[in-house]
Amino acid sequence: MDVILFLIFAAIAVVAAINVVVQTHPISSAVSLIGVMGSLAVLYLLLGAEFIAAAQVIVYAGAVMVLFVFVIMLLNAGAEARVGRSFVASLLGAPVLIALLAVLAWVVERIYPRGTTVHFGGFTGGSAQAVGRALFTTYLLPFEITSILVLIAIIGAVVLARKEID
Amino acid sequence: MAQVPVSWFLSLSAVLFVLGVAGFVFRRNIITVFMSIELMLNAVNLSFVTFAYQRQAVDAHLFVFFVMVVAAAEAAVGLAIILTVFKNRATLNIDEVDSMKN
Amino acid sequence: MQLWLIPILPLAGFLINGLFGRRFSKSLVHTVAVGSVALAFAWVLKTLFGLGELHTAYSEHYFTWIQSGTFAVQCDFSVDRLTAVMLLVVTGVGSLIHIYSIGYMAHEGGYYRFFAYMNLFMFFMLTLVLAANYLVLFVGWEGVGLCSYLLIGFYFDKKFATDAGNKAFIVNRIGDFGFSLAIFYMVRHFGSLDFATVFAKAPSAPESVLTIIGLLLLVGACGKSAQLPLYVWLPDAMAGPTPVSALIHAATMVTAGVYMTARSWAIYTHAPAAMSAIAIMGIATAFFAATIGITQYDIKKVFAYSTVSQLGYMFVGVGCGAFSAGIYHLMTHAFFKALLFLGSGAVIHALSGEQDMRNMGGLRKYTPWTCWTMFCASLAIAGFPFTSGFLSKDAILLAANHSAPWIYWVGTLTAGMTAFYVFRAFFMTFFGEYRGHEHHPHEAPLSMRIPLVILAALSLGGGYLFKVPEFLRQVFPTYEVPEDTGLMLIASSAGIIGILLAYLMYVARPAIPESIAASLDGLYTLVYNKYFVDEIYGAAVVTPVVSGSRAVLWKGMDAGLIDGTVNGVGVVARGVGSVLRLMQSGNIRSYATWVAFGGVLLIVAMGIAGGLR
């Protein structure tokens, strides 16, 4: 049962990811990306990461992607033209990517030839309580720093995007 | 078998990552490039959560949390920059943002 | 005894005049210069009187110059009887010439520079003479070569003067190369350069070694003392001021070669082949130079060739085993040759720069002192009986006859030619009608006349005053030559015949020289052009070396190889840079591709290096 679940949602994720890359109109790419994030959230649940799954849906799919869609609509970006100009990318791109994939697969196989198996309930430490406890005790400093980072990002975004006051 | 080997999750993560890189390298629309970056980040998040399961520790979840926060901040700032670039150059073609040439 | 003061006093003079002379008045400059040399002369006298009989050499050790394993070179000075003779000649004649220069150079520019160089020369010459080993001698040897170059090229704005200076230095260098090889061979074979050590070991060394050393030393002597084939620089050296010609190219520097070979008698007496080489070279040079001297018209060139010829005589003396005779002739030659040069300088001074004898004549009315002092010198060099020159030349010719009679006959013939050309010069200059353009030929000032008179007295009587052969008898191996009155008479008569012939041709019947020259036209042209030796050297040696250097070493190696390498580094750097520049395309996608590529490489590298479990 877990296997079937995994296979379905993994397939959805891959197809949606390919769609993100292949579609010409950005809005289609954005919607496909939302699909990727949703299926990833299910996979997180399979791995016992309940809090993260929730955060993925709420923050990523709910806020970040909405931001993307807003900007696309604001800029009225149309479909992309066909002509390319990066000689290096067109020459080396595909081989490098295939090489990257092969290397990563090889690494994975090296590390986990016969690893553990995943099933529902195999990991119970991913609850909101566990995450919260770790966040506010062990990882308090990064938490604080990240909040400052977010503040800076907000200020930066506001400054960059506002109209000139004249 | 009723159970999924951990390596499958990691392979999925690798595939998603490579797809993200492909999008980054081959697409010309700036926004699409950004979305490919988000795709890469998600792939990495998946592998982190897998490792958390593997080691039966919650610390990796924290890492994912922080990655998400930073990705959100980055998306905000990056989109603001895109807006500014669009205002100045009226194009969303990444090849035309090349003032650093030579 | 403070031997070091002898060379240091002139060195002090050089430093004072060289550093500060520009601001000194002329009288201060020459006081410092002449004073330093005169003081050196006085110190020499004091030292020699203090040393007494000098049956053994007296040395002073100053410091160890080179210490390398078992080989050491000390900076030592030593005085024995031979050194004493040389010291007296160098400082004595040197002082007189310095006094003479006061008057001669009075109207020339660069007054302080001249005296500074002259003092520097005295320093090096005295170092050469006082040295107790071959290396310190070589220091002096090179130093006098340097000063000769500086002084020949004194009028540095005239190209022929600077060319002559270069020629002197370069030709000397060739001789010095031979000398250096001799030094190396000596170190290798004897392990030391000290005179005492080398001469003690010489009798037991194999003859081949000694012959090689002797011949190499001879090469050095040829260069410095202007013998065949390295004499070509001396006539050109007349481009320098006349006191320079007198001091350096007559009395002292050119005699360094004779001194060095005489000093090395221990080597030569055990290498008969080398000694014969010396004698043959000496007599050949003497004859050769005398033939050229007969035809020259420049008064200084006549005496230059005469110097070459007389040096040949000295080498004949050394080469035939009569070392003391050679040194005797060195001393008397210093007297009369210096006088001849100084006298010709007075003539040139009187005529405001004229040097061609065809524009002279009848000057005995205008410059009587010069005329009669030069007459004394001419008698001496011609070997007129009872002058000093007669005694020394005689000693040499008798020794020559004792070892190889043919040298005696050639020497006698050369003596006749010597008398002839010297008196030719004398008669052309002082007798007959004045053929020049100068309106007021005037006698030399007192500062020039006094040295002339002193040297005239020495030319006539110096041989009796300083009986050098007896003095040096205990320094050199015994060499007794029977007195042969017959040979003496023959030699003297050759001289007298030469004088009479000159009188006939240049005073009584002045038309004869031209008719002889016309009838022997080819031979005359050959001799007049100095046998075209300079041209031959130029074509055979100088031109190939210069053009070879220009083509190969300059264009090929320097410009091509070295500049090419240095510039090539720049070019390569630029090329690499322009290739790397292509990565900076400004295109974000290509950057991303490179990043991905780099990432792949990194992971592969990590995997290979075993970073993955």
In DSSP notation, C364-410 reads TTT-HHHHHHHHHHHHHHHT-TTSHHHHHHHHHHHHHHHH-HHHHHH
| C-chain residues near B25 (CB < 8 A) | 589, 592-593, 596
Q: Compare C523 and B95 and report the one with higher pLDDT.
A: C523
d(CA C245, CA C237): 7
| B-chain residues near C589 (CB < 8 A) | 24-26, 28, 94-95
d(CA A113, CA C231): 96
Residue A29: name the closest of A69, A70, A88 by CA. Answer: A69
> Furthest-apart CA pair in chain B: how many Å?
58
| A-chain residues near C596 (CB < 8 A) | 96-97, 100
Q: What is the pLDDT of residue A140?
A: 93
Check if the beta carbon of residue C45 is closer than 8 Å to that of residue C34: no
Contact B18 A20 (CB under 8 A): no
Phi, psi of C76 (to 5 degrees): -125, 145
Which of C84-93, C207-216, C380-389 has the lowest average pLDDT? C380-389
Find, in chain A, the residue whose alpha carbon is nearest to that of C596: A96
| C-chain residues near A109 (CB < 8 A) | none
The answer, for B17 touching chain A at a CB cutoff of 8 Å, is yes
Token couple for C512 = 């004869």
Q: Compare B40 and C512 and report the one with higher pLDDT.
A: B40
The answer, for B50 touching chain A at a CB cutoff of 8 Å, is yes
Q: What angle do CA C211, C405, C422 make, to 5 degrees?
A: 95
B3-60 confidence digits (pLDDT tens): 788 888 888 999 999 999 888 888 888 888 899 999 999 999 999 999 898 888 889 9
Q: Subunits touching A (CB < 8 Å, at least 3 pairs)?
A: B, C
Q: What angle do CA C544, C548, C550 make, to 5 degrees?
A: 125
Residues of chain C above pLDDT 90, percent: 15
Q: How many residues does chain C have?
A: 613
Alpha carbon of A42: minimum distance to chain C alpha carbons (Å): 29
In the predicted structure, residue C613 carries a pLDDT above the cut 60: no
The answer, for A112 touching chain C at a CB cutoff of 8 Å, is no
Q: Compare C137 and A108 and report the one with higher pLDDT.
A: C137
Q: What is the pLDDT of residue A90?
A: 65
| Over residues C93-109, mean pLDDT | 88
In the predicted structure, residue C366 carries a pLDDT above the cut 90: no
Check if the beta carbon of residue C417 is closer than 8 Å to that of residue C291: yes
**CA-based R_g, chain B, Å:** 17
Count of CB atoms situated within 10 Å of the CB of A7: 12
What burial class does residue C439 get, using C-beta atoms within 10 Å of its C-beta: 0-12 exposed, 13-18 middle, 19+ buried?
A: exposed
Check if the beta carbon of residue A108 is closer than 8 Å to that of residue B14: yes
DSSP B102: -
Find, in chain B, the residue whose alpha carbon is nearest to that of C589: B25
Q: Subunits touching B (CB < 8 Å, at least 3 pairs)?
A: A, C
Least CB–CB distance from B35: residue in A68, A74, A84: A68
The answer, for B31 touching chain A at a CB cutoff of 8 Å, is yes
Phi, psi of C604 (to 5 degrees): -60, -45
The answer, for B88 touching chain A at a CB cutoff of 8 Å, is no
d(CA B26, CA C585): 16
Alpha carbon of C568: minimum distance to chain B alpha carbons (Å): 24
| Over residues C64-90, mean pLDDT | 88
Contact A160 B28 (CB under 8 A): no
With H, G, I as helix, E, B as strand and everything else as coil, classify residue C484: coil
β-strand C71-79 against C58-68: which pairing, if any? antiparallel
| C-chain residues near B21 (CB < 8 A) | 592, 596
Q: What is the pLDDT of residue A22?
A: 84
Q: What angle do CA C49, C51, C55 make, to 5 degrees?
A: 120
Find, in chain A, the residue whose alpha carbon is nearest to that of C597: A96
Check if the beta carbon of residue C307 is closer than 8 Å to that of residue C249: yes
Check if the beta carbon of residue B53 is closer than 8 Å to that of residue A46: no
| Over residues C188-209, mean pLDDT | 86
Q: What is the pLDDT of residue C503?
A: 83
The C-alpha torsion from C272 through C277 and C282 to C284, rounded to 10°, is 140
| Sequence-ordered list of residues with C-beta below 8 angstroms from that of C353, at least 6 positions apart, any chain | none
Q: What is the pLDDT of residue B39?
A: 95
Q: Using beta carbons and an 8 Å cutoff, which residues of B are at the interface with C?
A: 21, 24-26, 28, 33, 94-95, 97-102
Check if the beta carbon of residue C282 is closer than 8 Å to that of residue C325: no
The answer, for B10 touching chain A at a CB cutoff of 8 Å, is yes
Which of C192-201, C340-349, C588-597 has the lowest average pLDDT? C588-597
From residue C536, alpha-carbon distances to B7, C161, C306, C526, C548 in Å are 95, 21, 22, 13, 18
Whose tokens are 């011949």? That residue is C215
| B-chain residues near C593 (CB < 8 A) | 25
Phi, psi of C162 (to 5 degrees): -70, -35
C457-484 confidence digits (pLDDT tens): 888 888 788 877 778 877 787 777 777 7
Contact B25 C592 (CB under 8 A): yes
Q: Compare C560 and B10 and report the one with higher pLDDT.
A: B10
Check if the beta carbon of residue C170 is closer than 8 Å to that of residue C147: no
pLDDT bracket for residue B70 (50, 70, 90): very high
The answer, for C600 touching chain A at a CB cutoff of 8 Å, is yes
- The whole-angstrom distance between residue C316's C-alpha and the CA centroid of its chain comes to 18
Q: What CATH architecture applies to the domain A2-126?
A: Up-down Bundle (1.20)
Contact C589 B24 (CB under 8 A): yes
Which contiguous run of DSSP H or E holds residue C72? strand C71-79
Q: What is the pLDDT of residue B1?
A: 54
Check if the beta carbon of residue A48 is closer than 8 Å to that of residue A121: yes
In the predicted structure, residue C392 carries a pLDDT above the cut 90: no
Of the ranges A33-37, C201-205, C444-448, C517-521, which is most confident?
A33-37
Write down the H helix ranges in C225-322.
233-236, 242-246, 256-263, 265-268, 272-295, 299-319
Q: What is the pLDDT of residue A87?
A: 64
C40-54 confidence digits (pLDDT tens): 999 999 988 888 887
Alpha carbon of C585: minimum distance to chain B alpha carbons (Å): 5
What burial class does residue A107 get, using C-beta atoms within 10 Å of its C-beta: 0-12 exposed, 13-18 middle, 19+ buried?
A: middle
Q: What is the pLDDT of residue C118?
A: 92
Q: What is the pLDDT of residue A114?
A: 63
Alpha carbon of B63: minimum distance to chain A alpha carbons (Å): 10
Phi, psi of C204 (to 5 degrees): -95, 0
Least CB–CB distance from A103: residue in C587, C589, C604: C604
| C-chain residues near A88 (CB < 8 A) | 585, 587, 589-590, 593-594
Contact B102 C593 (CB under 8 A): no
The answer, for A28 touching chain B at a CB cutoff of 8 Å, is no
Q: Which residue numbers in chain A have pLDDT < 50?
A: none
Least CB–CB distance from A71: residue in B31, B36, B62: B31
Q: What is the mean pLDDT of chain C?
A: 85
| A-chain residues near C600 (CB < 8 A) | 96, 99-100, 103
pTM of the full predicted structure?
A: 0.69
Contact B39 A36 (CB under 8 A): yes
Q: What is the pLDDT of residue C355?
A: 83
Q: Which residues 77-136 of A are in CB contact (within 8 Å) with B?
A: 77, 80-81, 84-86, 89, 93, 96-97, 100-101, 104-105, 108-109, 112-113, 115-119, 122-123, 125-126, 130-131, 134-135
The answer, for A135 touching chain C at a CB cutoff of 8 Å, is no
- In this prediction the ipTM stands at 0.87
Q: What is the pLDDT of residue A112?
A: 67
Contact C596 A86 (CB under 8 A): no
3-state secondary structure chain A: CHHHHHHHHHHHHHHHHHHHHHCCCHHHHHHHHHHHHHHHHHHHHHCCCHHHHHHHHHHHHHHHHHHHHHHHHHHCCCCCCCCCCCHHHHHHHHHHHHHHHHHHHHHHHHHCCCCCEECCCCCCCCCHHHHHHHHHCCCHHHHHHHHHHHHHHHHHHHHHHCCCCC
Return the domain boundaries, chain C: 299-527, 529-582, 587-613
| Over residues C224-236, mean pLDDT | 86
- Please report the domains of chain B, with CATH numbers, ordered by start residue: 28-90 (1.10.287.3510)
Which of B89-98, C51-60, C150-159 has the lowest average pLDDT? B89-98
